[in-house]
């Protein structure tokens, strides 16, 4: 939006913040042991590794926040663990 208003300095500042947020998201939410995203980080009980379908939002947004290299592992995990013949379900290994 700042670019449309001819504010290149503001556009650059916003891009720096967006890039930082994306890098932080990928670092903090990526559950490398299993190849998908934590459901919650820094919660009362620590990080919640429940596999939930809401992680698909990190891929499906107009400007996806998840690194494209991680899309396939997320899709494969959701397909394997959550997809049923009638749609998706919540994680069978975690609390509802």
**Per-residue pLDDT tens over the stretch 26-66:** 999 999 999 999 999 999 999 999 999 999 999 999 999 99
β-strands 87-88, 83-84 pairing: antiparallel
Instruction: For residue 41, report the phi and psi dihedrals to the nearest 5 degrees.
Output: -120, 145
Query: Which helix (DSSP H) or strand (DSSP E) does residue 31 occupy?
Result: strand 30-31
Beta bridge partners of 84: 87
Indicate the pTM of the whole model: 0.78
**Which two structure tokens, joined as six digits, stand for 87?**
């749609």
How far is the CA of 56 from the CAs of 5, 13, 53, 94, in angstroms?
Answer: 33, 28, 6, 18
């Amino acid at each position: 939006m700042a670019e449309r208003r001819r504010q290149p300095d503001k556009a650059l500042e916003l891009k720096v913040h967006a890039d930082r947020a994306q890098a932080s998201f990928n670092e903090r939410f990526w559950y490398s042991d299993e190849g998908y995203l934590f459901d919650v980080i820094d919660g009362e009980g620590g990080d919640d590794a429940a596999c939930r379908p809401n992680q698909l939002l990190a891929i499906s947004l107009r400007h996806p926040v998840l690194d494209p290299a991680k899309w396939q592992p997320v899709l494969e995990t959701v397909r394997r663990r959550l997809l049923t013949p009638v749609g998706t379900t919540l994680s069978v290994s975690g609390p509802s």
